[in-house]
Amino acid sequence: MADDQSFDLAGCLDRVRQRDQAAARELVEHLHPLVIRIVRSHLPRRVAEEDLAQEIFMKMFTRIGQYQGAVPFPHWVSRIAVTTCIDHLRAQKRRPEFRWADLSENEAEVLDSVMTNENDVAANDSFAAHELVHKLLGQLKPDDRLVIQYLDLEQKTIAEICALTGWNTSLVKVRAFRARRKLRKLFEELKRKERS
């Protein structure tokens, strides 16, 4: 959504409702950055990001008649994107177990370092930290994972998460609490396994 100011979203939506294919293409191009960011941050294993983005856009066009304008259109689309990603994550019933043995040498070093000392992770270990974070997030339930990802990785506020997901404040807080409790248990378990 690079040219937010110049893009006439309302006009484009009107034309899409009149089944104008060129307007539909413009709408996809305009919303692609928003959708692809959501897809990339919540992409399930073995699902191609382009396929998932296409599914989201198809849902958007199918439901476009139901859009009443109660929320900004990009928020409405982001809710479709979020629920589609969650549905895909839920479909992957089995979550791979998080084990020391499955970590790369660098990831194991970074994890060991954050658990044994209070220093920040070195800048050149950011990639390993990123991989570790996503492996840890993979242990959470899809809804809880989404909330903690928005809070801790994308540093969004509770209000922003509510707007993006359509969930209420208490639901977001409950999911964040549940995710943090699970993460705490996970770290305790990892420490115990490391010692043993």
Binding mask 67-106 for other proteins (x = CB under 8 A): ----------------------------------------
Q: For residue 11, state whether it binds other proteins (rule: CB under 8 A).
A: no
Q: 30-53 as b/e, with b when 16 or more CB fall inside 10 Å? A: bbeeebbebbeebbbeebeeeebb
Smallest distance, other proteins to C-beta of residue 68, A: 19
Binding mask 104-133 for other proteins (x = CB under 8 A): ------xx--xx--x-xx-x-xxx-xx-xx
Interface residue with other proteins among 5, 66, 155, 196 (CB under 8 A) is 155
Burial class (CB in 10 A: 0-12, 13-18, 19+), 101: exposed
Q: Does 33 bind other proteins (CB under 8 A)?
A: yes
How many angstroms separate the CA atoms of 45 and 67, rounded? 31
Q: How far apart are CA 80 and CA 85, in angstroms?
A: 9
Q: Which residues contact 112 (CB under 8 A, 6 or more apart)?
A: 194
CB of 93 to other proteins, least distance (A): 25
Q: What is the chain's Cα-based Rg?
A: 20
Does residue 48 bind other proteins (CB under 8 A)? Answer: no
Q: Per CB under 8 A, which region of 58-66, 67-75, 93-101, 156-164 contacts other proteins?
A: 58-66
Stretch of residues binding other proteins (CB under 8 A), selected from 5-13, 67-75, 90-98, 180-188? 180-188
For residue 171, what are its two tokens? 């639901």
